[in-house]
Amino acid sequence: MKKFWNWVKDEKSDTRTLYLDGVIAEESWFDDDVTPKAFKSDLFAGEGDIVIWLNSPGGDCIAASQIYTMLMDYKGKVTIKIDGIAASAASVIAMAGTTVFMAPTALMMVHNPLTVAIGDSEEMQKAIAMLSEVKESIINAYEIKTGLSRTKLSHLMDAETWLNANKAIELGFADDILEDEKKRIQQDDFTYAFSRRAVTNSLLDKVCPKKTPVKKGISADSLEKRLNNIIH
């Protein structure tokens, strides 16, 4: 079994991150009971929200279909971040995301499924019929995510359509652009620093309260003596 996935757990936030890199199931899942079970076991070994970093040119459509179904069945929130490419079968996996982010430079590609067939004309017809059904199943996943018509999706697949991040968002294949994490952290630090100064100043005011200036005036006794002097 050749694993194409890797789980990493952040002990501080208790968040699990899945990295899907390279070809999806380079060693086909067809007639393979071990690999799908291993993936499912890893997925459901924990709970809570998960993040998936996806960078794949595609691969086995059967594997992609099973992974898609497992992720859709997962109870926690599934955030998918495409940092490179999500092409062919990998684009199907991306459709399982509760939220799908794409890096500004990332690409997504959708096309018709393909296979290699050997045999007579009858075998070729069976292969054509099989590919037609596979295409319909892929359209099912695209339709749920994008809300586009099946005809529109079929045309996009026929044309082997490449989508940049903005176009993918426009068509509904993705939800947002992946933010610059460093920039976000810097903004958070600035906000925190400002709040910390405000708290510090507040504490200093309590520890060392400002003295209220005392207004200088004339005492009652002094005023009475002065009045007596004027009268006499």
Q: What percent of the chain has pLDDT over 90?
A: 57
Q: Please tell me the distance from the alpha carbon of residue 62 to that of residue 136, in angstroms, as a whole number.
A: 13
pLDDT digits (tens, 9 = 90+) for 145-173: 999 999 999 999 999 999 999 999 999 99
- The residue-averaged pLDDT of 129-146 equals 95
Going by C-alpha positions, the residue among 29, 173, 153, 156 that lies closest to residue 108 is 173
pLDDT at 117: 79
Instruction: Note if the pTM is more than 0.95.
Output: no
pLDDT at 229: 58
Start-end of H helices in the chain: 34-43, 61-73, 89-94, 121-146, 150-158, 165-171, 181-207, 220-231
pLDDT at 192: 39
The structure tokens 């789980």 sit at 7
Q: Please tell me the distance from the alpha carbon of residue 166 to that of residue 53, in angstroms, as a whole number.
A: 19
Bridge partners, residue 78, by sequence:
50
Bridge partners, residue 54, by sequence:
20, 82
pLDDT digits (tens, 9 = 90+) for 45-94: 999 999 999 999 999 998 999 999 999 999 999 999 999 999 999 999 99
Tokens matching residue 136: 């319909």
Q: What count of other Cβ atoms lies within 10 Å of the Cβ of residue 201?
A: 9
- Residues 162-193 as b or e (16 or more Cβ within 10 Å = b): ebebeebbebebbbeebeeeeeeeeeeeeeee
- The CATH architecture of the domain made up of 5-178 is Alpha-Beta Complex (3.90)
pLDDT at position 204 over 50: yes
| Band of residue 193 on the pLDDT scale cut at 50, 70, 90 | very low
- The residue-averaged pLDDT of 5-17 equals 88
